[in-house]
Amino acid sequence: MLRFTLIRLLQAIPVLFAVVTLTFFLVRAAPGDPLASDKAMPPEVYAELTALYGLDKPVWQQYVSYLGNLLQGEFGPSFKYVGRTVNELIAAGLPATAELGIYAMLVAVLIGVSAGVFAALRPNSAQDYVPMSVAMMGICMPSFLLGPLLVLVFGLWLDWLPISGWGVIPGDKILPAITLGAAYAAYVARLSRGGMLEVMSQDYIRTARAKGLPEWRIVFKHGLRGGLIPVVAFLGPAFAGLLSGSFVVETVFQIPGMGRLYVQGAFNRDYTLIMGTTVLFATLIIVFNLLSDILSVWLNPKLRQQYQGSSQ
């Protein structure tokens, strides 16, 4: 297991390198001038700015110096936010987004798994259809619709919960977490239902049943373990996607997070900010995929034996 983890971590290095390189050249190939502004700029001023950000040098030189800075952990100065380094911007945006992501995942897993398992226990009955229909609505309810709806109902009509901000007014984290978590909860519910149904028809479950094991033990010990494999495979990438996908939620609820940074970076052609957020997301994705793979191995007894065997 340790060896497996180490190998995967080593493999992450070329992956990250590839991401950095691809993104670097991709953003520079994208049309649009990061220094363009609606007011006409005298050529002297434009030349000053170009030189300031090193854009007057050949692209390969820019690339080499970027890599150099990156190795020292420096993402460089932002183009848009004068005098701010990308490190500074990320440090400002990451905590809120990470916290939001964790709450949303908790919402997703708690509600999703319970609904999915619940539905799978009695397939094709009301106990199945009701939670699955709700889940389907969750999926087809984009956060740009669910967020404003929740705000309208719980914030403005019932006046129960604050509708904006992050950690300013008590309770202002609830609606964003539900909004972001809902779609994922719906996915998790569908996947865990599918996975459970798959597993519950497997031979070893039948064997366990034949042995007369109590039903709850079968479900929670044997069923859940196999049935959640698709969920776990989904959760790794989903968590990373959730971080970047929180843009809409952050906009709707006025949250100072990474999602807004990322999207605005792209629209402003803020090269260093795009690079910084991309590298960060790439790292997160790699880490979460690794975690989800480790979990899958742990959940699947046969794979586990194989990896333990190979590491001895």
Partner 1 sequence: MSTTTSTLPAEKGTSLWQDAWVRLGKNRLALFGLGVLSLLVVVSLLTPWLAPYPYDLQNLELGATPPSWDHWLGTDTFGRDLLTRILYGGRVSLAVGFVATGVALLIGVLYGAIAGYAGGRIDAAMMRFVDILYALPFMIFIILLMVIFGKNILLLFLAIGAVEWLTMARIVRGQVQNLRHQEFVEAATAIGLSRWAILHRHIIPNTLGPVIVYTTLTIPNVMLLEAFLSFLGLGIQPPESSWGLLINYGVETMEEYPWLLIFPGLALSITLFALNFLGDGLRDALDPKASKD
Partner 2 sequence: MNLSLSAQRLVPAVAVALLVLLTACSAGETNVERGNREGILYWGNGTEPQELDPHITTGVPESYIQEALFEPLVNSHPETLEPAPGVAQRWQVSDDGTTYTFYLNPKARWSDGEPVTAEDFRWSLWRAMHPKLGNQYSYMYYPIKNATPYLRGDISNFDEVGIRVIDSHTLQIQLENPTPYFLGLLSHHSYYPVPRNAIEAHGDPWKRGSHWTRPGNMVSNGAFQLSEWKLFNYIAVDKNPHYHKADEVALNGIRFLPTENVTTEERMFRANQLHYTYELPADKTEFYRTNAPQQLRNQPYLGTYFYRLNTRIKPLNDPKVRRALALAIDRQKIVERITKQGQLPAYTITPPNTAGYSAESSLIYDPERARELLAEAGYPNGEGIDSLEVLYNTKETHRKIAVAVQQMWKKELNINIILRNEDWKVYLDSEKRGKFQISRASWIGDYLDPNTFLDMWIKDGGNNRTGWHNPEYDRLVLEQAPQATSREERHNLLMKAEKILLDEVPAIPIYTYATRHLVDPSLKGFSSNLLDRPFFSHFYLEPEPNPDSEQ
Per-residue DSSP letters for 179-193? Answer: HHHHHHHHHHHHHHH
Residue 110 touches which member of partner 1, partner 2, none, C-beta under 5-8 Å by kind = partner 2
Please check whether residue 120 is in contact with residue 227, taking contact to mean a CB–CB distance below 8 angstroms.
Answer: yes
Give the x/- contact pattern for partner 2 in 170-189, rule: CB under 8 A.
xx--x---------------
- Asked if residue 40 binds partner 2 (CB under 8 A), the reply is yes
Residue 285's binding partner out of partner 2, partner 1, none, with CB under 5 to 8 Å set by partner kind: partner 1
Residues 153, 158, 159, 162: is their CA dihedral positive or negative? negative
> From the CB of residue 220, how many other CB atoms can be counted at a distance below 10 Å?
12
253 binds partner 2 (CB under 8 A): yes
> For residue 282, which of 93, 101, 16 has the smallest C-alpha distance?
16
Q: How many CB atoms lie within 10 A of CB 147?
A: 23
- 309's tokens: 């065997």
Q: Residue from 161, 243, 286, 297 that binds partner 2 (CB under 8 A)? A: 161
Binding site for partner 1 (CB under 8 A): 11, 14-16, 18-19, 22-23, 26-27, 29-31, 123-124, 132-133, 136-137, 139-140, 142, 144-145, 148-149, 152, 187, 190-191, 194-195, 197-198, 201-203, 226, 229-230, 233-234, 237, 240, 248, 262-263, 266, 274, 277-278, 281-282, 285-286, 289, 296, 300, 302-303, 306
Q: Distance between CA 57 and CA 52 in Å, rounded?
A: 11
2 contacts partner 2 (rule: CB under 8 A) = no
Q: Which is nearer to partner 2, 49 or 233 (CB)?
A: 49
User: Which of the 8 DSSP states describes residue 85?
Assistant: B
Cα angle: 211, vertex 216, 218; to 5 degrees: 45
In angstroms and rounded to an integer, the radius of gyration of the C-alpha atoms of the chain is: 24
Q: From the list partner 1, partner 2, none, pick the one residue 84 interacts with, judged by a Cβ distance below 5 to 8 Å according to partner type.
A: partner 2
- The 3-state DSSP class for residue 298 equals helix
State residue 85 phi and psi, 5-degree precision: -90, 160
Q: Name which of residues 44 to 83 contact partner 2 (CB under 8 A).
A: 44-45, 48-49, 52, 77, 80-83
172 vs 270, beta carbon nearer partner 1: 270
| Residues 155, 162 contacting (CB under 8 angstroms) | yes
The contact set with partner 2 (CB under 8 A) reads 31-34, 36-42, 44-45, 48-49, 52, 77, 80-84, 88-89, 92-93, 110-111, 114-115, 117-118, 121-122, 127, 131, 148, 151-152, 154-156, 159-166, 169-171, 174, 214-216, 218-219, 251-254, 256-257, 260-261, 267-269
